Amino acid sequence: MSTALRWTVAVVAAIALVLGIAGAAIVPLLRSLQDGGSASYSLPAPQEGSQEPPAPELARFYQQELDWSACEDAWCATLTVPLDYADPAGETIELALLSEPATGDRQGALVVNPGGPGAPGTDYAASADQAFGEPLRESFDVVGFDPRGTGESAPVDCLSDADLDAYIAGDPNPDTPAEAAEAAVAGERFVHGCARHSGALVDHVSTVETVRDLDVLRAALGEDALDYYGASYGTKIGATYADLFPERAGQLVLDGALDPSLSSRETSLEQAAGFETALRSYVEWCLAEDDCPLEGSVDEGLQQIRDLMDSVDAEPLPTSGSRELEGGNAFYGLVTPLYAQQSWPALTIALEEAFDGDGTTLLALSDIYSSRGATGYKDNSSEAIRVISCLDDPWAIPPRQVPAQVPDFERASPTFGDVFAWSLTACRGFPGKAAEPPPEVTGAGAPPVLVVGTTRDPATPYQWAEALADQLESGVLLTRDGDGHTGYGMGNACVDVTIEDFLIDGVVPDDGLRC
């Protein structure tokens, strides 16, 4: 199980499309240049000293000039970086960039990342009019990049689309020896496929290397300091940047924070509890609605959902298409709408259909999670998430050790615990070896870093934001009391204004502000 599914704006928009209640797709259709977009795009002269490399052999990367070209109403370019920073004279790779120019008085570039790991940052920037408020869009060019190994930036590849379908649909909590053996084979096929199809790239898509790319991007944009908004896994990128390049850190916002000090087991255990909390909140809300397919108390409603998941595991449900709803899809279809309270009505419809024997909407929600379209996968996020995560932390246990872990996980989450316990095997046999280990994050020397946490966040539990704010020497905690993943743009004006004032004017809120 990943540390994040997808950036919240995309989930809400895509779910709306599935239900036919909005015309937005997962990446909103861009307006054309003929509709009044800019006819040209160029950056101002680089700020003094902005392109000075940290080492002389990196000068050609830090001093490169980006060649922007029109792509619908945005502007696209590529950034050249070394595959291996230990060998800057060796092989290079190209990273995809997309910029939405400032609509008002430009004060600089705001680099954004939606998380994942594996979600394309270019898509995030392309959706700036939905993801970011008008004050930010007026003041900044919103610049997204596909991190190395993702999207259009030297994407890693592990499985064919057909094999990836089977892998995602597979039983996420095998409960017989035969099912466990089948899951182990599927996992081995995945990691071996990464090595076979991606070659040396599997050693060079770590978070640390992405952060080094981020500093090259800052220099190529001509910015003396990096202004950055990172959501979910994007907070790990931002926190690592504050640690490796504190003198280049500008206004950094880390929203839906990860706790980089946790072990893989601790991360999975606490995330399982986070999803249980989110599902309980949903069930409580649903039972108060007239059209809720659940009955009785909150605990009884939760049990009805567990029974449904068990029944799908035993016998897949038909859908309106050619694919069935299998156990893995049912799990992802259940958790995806928990990322935003606006998506809870979609889960109600999906559950009502599933109780009636129709898995169509749950499968559609699962496809949003995996970025699967009608004819195949829109990007490689379902593969990149595992490669990046395992390269950062390859720890894993063999399948025979999972049963001993299940009781702890089921205490944390009666609904999801066994699935998260089995996720501890995900990196078993992973062939990659990181060129540089992740640092112990402190951000010593960085200016104030704004860390945002939501009290009932399913994917990045609130205590992770508290922990990251403590670990960063200049961390400042902002709390949103609410449901859903991340804080910005979730309907809380206090949070939105605080983040915008910080990014635009450098106004640092009181540490511990609650909204």
Residue span(s) of the chain under CATH 3.40.50.1820 come to 8-155+204-261+437-514
Q: Which positions are annotated as active-site residues?
A: 232, 457, 485
CA dihedral 105, 111, 116, 122 (to 10 degrees): 70
Higher pLDDT, 30 or 387: 387
Per-residue pLDDT of 160-213, as tens digits, reads: 999 999 999 999 999 888 888 999 899 999 999 998 999 999 999 999 999 999
pLDDT for residue 56 is more than 90: yes
308 Cβ partners below 8 Å, 6+ apart? 330, 351, 354, 355
Best CA proximity match to 469, nearest among 415, 413, 509, 503: 509
Query: What is the rounded average pLDDT of the residues 235-253?
Result: 98
The residue-averaged pLDDT of 62-67 equals 96
**pLDDT-based confidence at 72, cuts 50/70/90?**
confident
DSSP for 380-434, written as a single string:
SHHHHHHHHHHHH------GGGHHHHHHHHHHH-TTTHHHHHHGGGTTTT-----
Count of beta carbons in the 10 Å neighbourhood of residue 195: 18
pLDDT of 246 strictly over 60: yes
Tell me the mean pLDDT in the region 406-432.
Answer: 96
Q: Say whether pLDDT at 33 is over 90.
A: no
The percent of the chain in helix, strand and coil, each rounded to the nearest 5, is 45, 15, 40
- The DSSP call for residue 510 is P
Is the pLDDT confidence value at 53 over 50? yes
3-state secondary structure 446-479: CCCEEEEEEEECCCCCHHHHHHHHHHCCCEEEEE
Tell me the pTM: 0.92
Give the whole-angstrom CA distance, residue 51 versus residue 216.
8
Check residue 43 and give its pLDDT. Answer: 87
Of 240, 219, 208, which Cα lies nearest the Cα of 53? 219
Is residue 24 pLDDT above 90, yes or no?
no
Percentage of the chain beyond pLDDT 90 is 87
Average pLDDT over residues 223-236: 97
Q: Is pLDDT of 60 > 70? A: yes
Radius of gyration of the chain (CA): 22
pLDDT for 1 beyond 90: no
Residue 511 — φ and ψ, nearest 5°? Answer: -60, 130
| Cβ neighbour number for residue 455 with a 10 Å cutoff | 16
How buried is 421 (Cβ within 10 angstroms: 0-12 exposed, 13-18 middle, 19+ buried)?
Answer: buried
pLDDT, tens only, 334-365: 999 999 999 999 999 999 999 999 999 999 99
Structure tokens at 192: 């071996």
What's 316's DSSP letter? P
Burial class for 144, CB neighbours closer than 10 Å (0-12, 13-18, 19+):
buried
| Cβ-proximal residues to 290 (8 Å cutoff; 6+ apart), any chain | none
* Tens-place pLDDT, residues 443-460: 999 999 999 999 999 999
Q: Domain 8-155+204-261+437-514 belongs to what architecture?
A: 3-Layer(aba) Sandwich (3.40)
Q: pLDDT, tens digit, for every residue of 459-509?
A: 999 999 999 999 999 999 999 999 999 999 999 999 999 999 999 999 999
**According to the model, what pLDDT value does residue 19 have?**
35
**What is the rounded distance in angstroms from the CA atom of residue 171 to the CA atom of residue 189?**
15
At residue 39, the pLDDT reads: 60
User: What is the pLDDT averaged over residues 50-67?
Assistant: 96
- Give dist(CA 97, CA 468) in Å, integer: 28
Give me the pLDDT at residue 325, please: 97
